[in-house]
Amino acid sequence: MTKPLAGMYAALMTGLADDGSFCPDRQRALNAHVLGQGLDGLYVGGSSGESGLLDVDELLQQQKIVAGDAADTTLIAHVGAPSLRESVKLARNAKRLGYHGLSALPPHSYPFTDGEILAYYSELQAATDLPLIVYEVPVRTGRPIGLETLVEILSLPHVTGLKFTSTDMFKLSMLRRCCPDAALFFGFDEIYLSGAVLGADGGIGTTYNLLGRLYMALNAAVKAGDLAEAQRLQTISAQFVEGLLETGVLPGMKAAFRALGIEVGPTRAPMLMRVGDGEARIAKLVARPEIAEWLR
């Protein structure tokens, strides 16, 4: 059975002008590059898109631009915001623009209880009839959501899946058993294979913006039972991510786009390149034959 929205999605990045403002032209250039990689869809307005540093009007504008560029592509709008009112506004705008699904970080501006997180998702999923992908990401929120609460959230009428960005693989396996009909997406690019063999229905990741063809091939190898090929491709992914960690993932990704001749601008302050020679390091990284093969 094909599950709603299952597949491989680039967690789309954001094009910014040199002064850090949102830049529609650079967003369109970025969209064009990512759309050319044959992924199953785009995940718009998430952490990879610096959404926590953008205001709601910029996110609404980005939703519109991407919808115009990607009419034939499955689109999931990330609508998680510090305020539930803003989340609902983003969700309803995505619905009007023809997005196919929604996703949202759990509320994390304060130390919310599991009950408050459940209430947030309950109201958000009721705001439209679009399928909602909820999100488990302790590295961003500061704590995991309890298994029982996640199972309860996944039972809400319009909640159809979960983006799981955690290294708690036992928890992922339990979710797979407890919620067999849910679409589970794995969010750590560098170990996607681990999630896939435990039953993930797809992935959503930052490095898919550049290595989308590699991740499609990796997922195909998993489905074909070709473990050796899947391991080979996962190793290339891990080496790329290892290089990005030296510079900061998003600053490094934007430097990689520049190395390929695609200007998508800086990251928004206070996010900065972590090393002074970051551009040179990334240029060497993307020139490595095993990585460059997937960037052509």
pLDDT at 109: 85
DSSP for residue 16: B
Q: Respond yes or no: is residue 163 known to be catalytic.
A: yes
Averaged pLDDT, 59-78 = 97
**What residue type is 108 in one-letter code?**
H
> pLDDT per residue over 183-214, tens digit each?
999 999 999 999 999 999 999 999 999 999 99
Whole-structure pTM value: 0.97
What distance separates the 2 farthest-apart alpha carbons in the chain?
50
pLDDT at 2: 74
Q: Can you read off the two tokens belonging to residue 128?
A: 């439209």
pLDDT at 211: 98
Assess whether pLDDT exceeds 90 at residue 1: no
Stated length of the chain:
296
pLDDT at 296: 81
Distance CA 130, CA 126 (A): 9
> pLDDT per residue over 78-101, tens digit each?
999 989 999 999 999 999 999 999
pLDDT at 21: 98
Tally Cβ neighbours within 10 Å of residue 233: 25
pLDDT at 160: 98
Say which of 99, 120, 163, 254 is annotated catalytic: 163
Averaged pLDDT, 104-109 = 92
Select 8-226's CATH number: 3.20.20.70, 3.30.365.10, 3.40.640.10, 3.30.1330.120. 3.20.20.70
**What residue type is 151 in one-letter code?**
V
pLDDT at 18: 98
Q: Respond yes or no: is residue 135 known to be catalytic.
A: yes
Contact 133, 109 (CB under 8 A): no
At a CB cut-off of 8 Å and minimum separation 6, what does 103 contact?
A: 43, 46, 76, 77, 78, 79, 80, 132, 133, 134, 135, 163
Say which of 99, 135, 192, 208 is annotated catalytic: 135
Q: How does residue 108 score in pLDDT terms, banded at 50, 70 and 90?
A: confident
pLDDT at 44: 98
**What residue type is 294 in one-letter code?**
W
The whole-chain average pLDDT of the chain stands at 97
pLDDT at 9: 98
